[in-house]
Amino acid sequence: MSMPLLRNDWSRAEVRALFDLPFPELLHRAGSVHRENFDPAEVQVSTLLSVKTGGCPEDCAYCPQAQRYHTGVDATKVMSTEAVIEKARQAKAAGASRFCMGAAWRSPKDRDIPKVAAMIREVKALGLETCATLGMLSGDQATALKSAGLDYYNHNLDTAPEFYNEIIHTREYQDRLDTLAHVRDVGMKTCCGGIVGMGESREQRAGLLQTLANLPAHPDSVPINRLVQVEGTPLAGTAELDPFEFVRTIAVARLLMPKSMVRLSAGREAMSDELQALCFLAGANSIFYGEKLLTTGNPDTERDLALFARLGLRPMQIVETAGTVHASIEEHVEATTDPAHSCAA
């Protein structure tokens, strides 16, 4: 079955039919589309830092940063620019090519934007791609972040429109679509995906991916998060999503959005190496890298390096501002296994 490379008019029935394909056939189709658009041995590597944690006024049922839930996450002030830059340097040394900054805001206040803009400029100067997730944005705020050099803005849809009110009541679905429109209008790239395993049906997973694929432009990055259940949130105790269903979700995302980066995001800490390998076969080609995603765990760097080595994967390279190319994973493996570097910070 030959499929057009880019479409923004997928029907729910078409997406559901892809989910229903026999598993080997679905992976074959997704892998073929992946190879047509990317090198299947390359994985884009990002690091995510929470620059302002906790105290969020929203009621997202999955989120340990909501102030109304008792999850042990304490509210903090915005990190200093110097502290953020040090984390960015460490991320770059560990092999990341993109540095994402997240803040637990419903939406930033105008007075917050200059401080975030300073972080963006400094991270950009290190030769890293920049990404931020700060909540809802106005058009003027999007313009200011673009002017500071922000490459990507993350704002997830979370789930299908018909399931959204089961998860969030403090923000409308249209609010999310409006923020994405502001980001696109100023020429920034969008990072937009969702969370699976929140008790939604396959039909509703199809609805999430259909909505993403039918946006005016496909998101440049599509993070697929597997719910991390945090004690104290309403979704703690939810039945876990079948691992093969998660792989199906990755594969369908690849088929619907063939030129987007499909990212393994939250939940990767609990994934086996075998499950991650299946996801890469299904078309995933981006990961978050490092010990923590905002407030939840992530596989440590050495485990990821070992998995990349076992699978013959390497990180995508970017050209730095000075004209040099980002260091390869092989160079980082040598540096971290050489006895002369074993105690390096």
Element housing 184 (H / E): helix 173-185
CA distance 324 to 53: 34
343 is annotated as an active-site residue: no
Residue 22 identity (one-letter amino acid):
P
Q: Which member of 176, 248, 254, 263 is catalytic? A: 263
Catalytic residue chosen out of the listed positions 56, 192, 205, 279: 56
Active site includes 279? no
Active-site option among 63, 171, 226, 268: 63
CA separation for the pair 211, 160 (Å, rounded) = 7
CA distance 102 to 339: 35
Angular region, 127: left φ>0, alpha ψ -120 to 50, beta rest: left
Specify the amino acid at residue 108: P
The position carrying tokens 């993109």 is 98
> Is residue 60 annotated as a catalytic residue, yes or no?
yes
Q: Which of 98, 131, 226, 279 is catalytic?
A: 131
d(C-alpha 17, C-alpha 15), whole Å: 5
Q: What is the DSSP string of 199-229?
A: S--HHHHHHHHHHHHTSSS--SEEEEEEP--
CA distance linking residue 16 with residue 12, whole number of Å: 6
Active-site residue (options: 60, 176, 205, 254) = 60
Which residue among the candidates 29, 98, 100, 205 is catalytic per the annotation? 100
- Specify whether 263 is catalytic: yes
Q: Is 131 a catalytic residue?
A: yes
- For the annotated catalytic residues, the residue numbers are 56, 60, 63, 100, 131, 191, 263
